């Protein structure tokens, strides 16, 4: 299990979220068997979604990020709930373009140019909210900050990091989401900007500092308080009921073809769990659907 904290400055100028997502990223890497750069790309998207999801208001609310670029990774997506639990998927888990000139993993090349989609399915909304923004850099953090600034008019600092070891496992992974709130004190804004000049990469901080200490570095010299601390994990919500629905959505003729072939198997793209349907299972599924109609 990983940990996530939330805090706010005492004058209400800014809020901060910090998460250690190391276990989440390693679980995703294990499920999807990702190459180092794919691990970093998927890990950053998972981390961002976890923090953004924690801003949701209700238990059944869901936030989904999808980076649909022309890079080697293909589509990279993650869905999170209001507790920061998250699951994700990468189209090409073998994506591992050459490293950057500075020796770092080239996540931007893996993502490429394209569109960032943010879907928020929340209680009280007649239909899910979908925001879209041209991918700015492909480094993920800059794209999240740009999304908030342009689509929601919320000035945002986002830091994301995944440090991958020689065994392809994440040594450390985490993120920070720092946002200015309406009517923020200009002096607080200036102080935050000053603090940002001296802060090391978040993947380094996660290794050596606890989450509260990291928050204190970003808000150095500013009075703040933590109001939430929670555990979060890589958590899939697939079920037999949902795969039943997916099968029915393919149509009666398609299911009849599966019956003629003796059955089928569906595999969850998020966790890899296989759902096997025998010929008899499919016939029963059609029978129940017919009774409902």
pLDDT in tens, 77-127: 999 999 999 999 999 999 999 999 999 999 999 999 999 999 999 877 788
At 19-37, the pLDDT tens digits run: 999 999 999 999 999 999 9
160 three-class SS: strand
Q: CATH classification of 240-292 is 3.90.1280.10, yes or no?
A: yes
Q: Domain limits of the chain?
A: 2-232, 240-292
- Cβ count within 10 A of residue 2: 26
Architecture of domain 2-232: 3-Layer(bab) Sandwich (3.55)
CB atoms within 10 A of CB 123: 10
Whole-prediction pTM value?
0.94
Work out the pLDDT band at 58, boundaries 50, 70, 90. confident
pLDDT at 291 over 80: no
Q: Taking residues 33-59, what's their average pLDDT?
A: 96
Percentage of the chain beyond pLDDT 70 is: 99
* Distance in angstroms (rounded) separating the CA atoms of residues 199 and 182: 25
The pLDDT value recorded for residue 83 is 96
Give the span between the Cα atoms of 165 and 30, in whole angstroms.
14
Counting Cα atoms < 13 Å in the Cβ hemisphere of 268 gives 19
Q: What is the pLDDT of residues 194-244, one digit of tens each?
A: 999 999 999 999 999 999 999 999 999 999 999 999 999 999 999 999 999
What's the rounded Cα separation, in Å, for the pair 170 and 60? Answer: 30
Cα 80 to chain centroid distance, Å, stands at 6
Asked if 43 and 202 touch (Cβ cutoff 8 Å), the reply is no
> How many CB atoms sit inside 10 A of residue 252's CB?
11
């Amino acid at each position: 299990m990983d940990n996530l904290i939330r805090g706010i400055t005492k004058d209400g100028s800014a809020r901060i979220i910090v998460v250690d997502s190391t276990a989440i990223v390693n679980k995703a890497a294990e499920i999807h068997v990702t190459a180092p750069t794919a691990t970093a790309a998927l890990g950053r998207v998972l981390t961002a979604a976890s923090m953004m999801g924690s801003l949701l208001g209700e238990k059944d609310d869901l936030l989904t990020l999808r980076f649909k670029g022309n890079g080697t990774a293909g589509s990279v997506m993650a869905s999170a709930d209001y507790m920061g639990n998250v699951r994700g998927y990468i189209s090409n888990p073998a994506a591992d373009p050459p490293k950057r000139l500075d020796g770092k993993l080239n996540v931007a090349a893996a993502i490429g140019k394209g569109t960032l989609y943010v879907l928020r399915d929340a209680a009280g909304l007649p239909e899910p909210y979908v925001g879209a923004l041209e991918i700015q850099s492909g480094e993920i953090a800059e794209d999240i900050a740009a999304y908030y600034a342009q689509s929601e008019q919320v000035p945002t600092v986002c830091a994301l990091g995944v440090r991958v070891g020689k065994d392809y496992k994440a040594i450390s992974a985490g993120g920070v989401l720092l946002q200015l709130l309406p009517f923020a004190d200009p002096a607080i804004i200036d102080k935050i900007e000053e603090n940002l000049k001296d802060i090391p990469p978040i993947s380094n901080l996660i290794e050596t500092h606890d989450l509260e200490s990291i928050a204190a570095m970003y808000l150095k010299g500013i009075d703040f308080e933590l109001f939430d601390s929670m555990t979060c994990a890589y958590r899939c919500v697939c079920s037999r009921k949902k795969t039943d629905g997916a099968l029915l959505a393919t149509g009666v003729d398609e299911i009849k073809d599966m019956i003629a072939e003796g059955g089928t198997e569906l595999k969850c793209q998020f966790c890899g769990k296989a759902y096997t349907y025998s010929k008899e299972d499919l016939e029963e599924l059609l029978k129940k659907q017919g009774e409902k109609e």
